[in-house]
Amino acid sequence: MEGRGGMILKLEPQTLANEFSQLGIHPASEAIFLHKSEIVPLKILDIRTPAANIIKQEMLACGGDCAIPAGCVVCAEERVDVILLGTYKHYTRLLEKLTQMPYFGMAGIKSELMAILDAPIPQTILADGRTLNYDKMLVMGILNITPDSFYAGSRVPQLEQVVEKAGEMLRQGAAVLDIGGESTRPGSDALTADEEQKRVVPVIKALKERYPACVISIDTYRASTAEAALAAGADIINDVTAMEGDAAMSDLVVGSKVPIILMHMRGTPKNMQQNCEYKNVVTEVAAYLLQRAKVLENRGVAKEKIIFDPGIGFAKNIEQNLQLMQGLKSLTGLGYPVLLAASRKSTIGSVLGGIPAEERLEGTIAASCQAVYAGAQMVRVHDVQENLRAIRMLEAILCPSHI
């Protein structure tokens, strides 16, 4: 019988650890080979042009590559963006080179590169000391205490109905319950703080009484509402304005030691869809969220208290929302937990032929699966069980040993 010599198979990167094990290599070699197996594209923003030219040459010398703008060699622009193409081995060599170059801002580039390559697995630490671990993706269930949420299926008007709905979500595997009293759909009008608090505070108290161990996030941009919600038992603040809607919000986060979700948006829900101009939506959203995080970190707030949300549907058109979901890995590589909140949103309806919110479950599940591929830590959804089952199945396929 003729052998199979010469047959060549193409391997998926996520199968390599198992393939190395079956091949019988020395265990100490596995990490070395894995670091050589994947090209990791990195984008460095707004660096001096001489630094870009030097990095280009050093990456080539290390065996990697670097894409620079036309005209960079003759320093046509003072500052440029560059894209690095290399494995972890190439970047390790580049770091050694940068150590010997204390000029053109190289020290800052080295520091940022080290932070990216050595970023620990993110986690979120609640004020009471409990930790949200992200060894598997977590699911946040949406409970809208509003009469006008864009998806009728998420509106829960009566207190006992809210409590029962929350219990169902917890039984289905929700790690966090997100309580919102004001709709932030495009074109929506703002509530008063008093009305918002009348809606959410009794609900939070009732949920904590019935399900004391549940983790609750309060979806508000008002510091007064957030403070009342925390007093009622909420554990996380979910601020669609990234603390720009109320100057007192950062003081509350610092003082209460609760985690906050910082979301990208421009303008207000009333006018945000008139603010959709970007040169590069992924880069600009990432830069904005890092800047908002820095506001807290400068006041002593740790990364474990900050979660990023790119703000799908907030001051973005359909193409930009899709670009953000496609480029989500740019956010998940920054060292902060990332939440994707795309559930049943209008982009899904538009892509699938103009279908209403009630028919967007499958599209939502597809978005949740993309979040898994991108390495996100959490998704915010209306349908906990369906999304969680799809997520766990995809996680099992990508990493069978972690079942």
pLDDT tens digits, one per residue of 242-280 = 999 999 999 999 999 999 999 999 877 767 776 678 999
Q: Which string of DSSP letters, residue by residue, matches 175-242?
A: SEEEEESS--STTPPPPPHHHHHHHHHHHHHHHHHH-TT--EEEE-S-HHHHHHHHHHT--EEEETTT
Confidence of residue 5 (pLDDT cuts 50, 70, 90): low
Q: Work out the end-to-end distance of the chain between its first and last CA atoms, rounded to an integer number of angstroms.
A: 39
Contact between 235 and 217 (Cβ < 8 Å): yes
Confidence of residue 149 (pLDDT cuts 50, 70, 90): low
Instruction: Determine whether 43 is an active site residue.
Output: no
- Strands of 79-86's sheet, edge to edge? 40-48, 79-86, 65-67
Q: How many CA atoms lie within 13 A of 263 on its CB side?
A: 26
Which of 141, 142, 122 has its CA nearest to residue 133? 122
- Range in 12-21, 83-92, 250-259, 284-293 with the lowest mean pLDDT: 12-21
Give the mean model confidence (pLDDT) for residues 175-188.
Answer: 84
Query: pTM for the whole thing?
Result: 0.90
Percent of the chain with pLDDT over 70: 94
pLDDT at position 152 over 80 = no
pLDDT at 191: 83
25/226 Cα distance (integer angstroms)? 54
Give the mean model confidence (pLDDT) for residues 149-176.
Answer: 82
Sign of CA dihedral 183, 188, 193, 196: negative
pLDDT at 197: 95
Give the mean model confidence (pLDDT) for residues 323-328.
Answer: 96
pLDDT at position 47 over 60 = yes
Sign of CA dihedral 128, 224, 285, 98: negative
pLDDT at 157: 62
Percent of the chain with pLDDT over 90: 75
Confidence of residue 228 (pLDDT cuts 50, 70, 90): very high
Sign of CA dihedral 179, 184, 188, 194: positive
What value, to the nearest 5°, has the Cα angle with vertex 259 and ends 251 and 382? 125
Confidence of residue 117 (pLDDT cuts 50, 70, 90): confident
Confidence of residue 187 (pLDDT cuts 50, 70, 90): low
Indicate the average pLDDT of the chain: 91
pLDDT at 126: 98
Instruction: Determine whether 165 is an active site residue.
Output: no
Give the mean model confidence (pLDDT) for residues 350-362.
Answer: 97
Q: How many CA atoms lie within 13 A of 141 on its CB side?
A: 28
Catalytic residue of the set 48, 222, 303, 380: 380
| β-bridge mates for residue 66, sequence order | 84
Catalytic residue of the set 345, 360, 389, 392: 345
Residue 348 makes CB contacts below 8 A (sequence gap 6+) with: 342, 360, 363, 364, 367
Which of 11, 89, 81, 149 has its CA nearest to residue 287? 81
